[in-house]
């Protein structure tokens, strides 16, 4: 598979993803799964400004994302997929887009959220329910800020 990382991060394309994960994975591109951004060329261009030259950024809606993933899996070079929240991730998992894939819980800062043992994760009740749903679907989800950080199992957040 050429999708090297699927990451839930409400900041989407930002320094930690581009420098921290990007220098480790060396992706040819970033795919952001977000209905709002998929139709907003101006905002997409703002995100593209944060990428090194030659690195592609695509923005896709949730609908039909499994076929987009399949297309990326046929391309050369690794891709990073970014999803803005746990609820979106759960919905695309229900569509079958995440079968046999792992999810990185990278940055969830819900305003109503409760702090967890990991400083970059604040989950509300809906987030916890969606994470439980991912687990029920067999999707392996761990929290990890950077590639050299130890993964924190999902059980630490939904127990």
Q: Which domain holds residue 62?
A: 3-158
**Cα distances (angstroms) measured from residue 15 to each of 23, 47, 53:** 11, 11, 15
Q: Is residue 2 pLDDT above 70, yes or no?
A: yes
Whole-number Å distance between alpha carbons of 114 and 62: 27
Global pTM? 0.94
- Write the pLDDT tens digit of every residue in 58-98: 999 999 999 999 999 898 889 999 999 999 999 999 999 99
Residue range 22-62, pLDDT digits in tens: 999 999 999 999 999 998 999 999 999 999 999 999 999 99
CATH number of the domain enclosing 39:
3.40.35.10
The chain-wide mean pLDDT, for the chain, equals: 91
Give the chain's domain count. 1
* The predicted structure's pLDDT at residue 156: 81
Residue 1 has what pLDDT? 55
- What tens digit of pLDDT does each residue of 99-115 get? 999 999 998 887 676 76
Rounded CA-CA distance 15/56 in Å is: 16
Question: What count of residues does the chain have?
Answer: 159
């Amino acid at each position: 598979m050429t999708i090297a990382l699927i990451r839930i991060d409400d900041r989407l394309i930002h320094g930690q993803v581009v420098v921290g994960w990007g220098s480790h994975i060396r992706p040819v591109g970033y795919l952001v799964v977000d209905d709002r951004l998929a139709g907003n060329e101006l905002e997409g261009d703002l995100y593209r400004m944060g990428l090194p030259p030659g690195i592609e950024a695509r923005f896709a809606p949730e609908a039909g994302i499994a076929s987009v993933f399949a297309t990326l899996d046929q391309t050369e070079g690794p891709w990073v997929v970014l999803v803005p929240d746990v609820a979106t991730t759960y919905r695309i998992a229900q569509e079958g887009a995440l079968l046999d894939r792992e999810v990185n819980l990278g940055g969830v800062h819900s305003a109503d959220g409760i702090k967890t043992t990991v400083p970059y994760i604040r989950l509300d009740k809906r987030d916890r329910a969606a994470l439980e749903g991912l687990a029920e679907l067999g999707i392996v989800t761990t929290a990890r800020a950077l590639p050299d950080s130890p993964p924190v199992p999902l059980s630490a957040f939904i127990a």
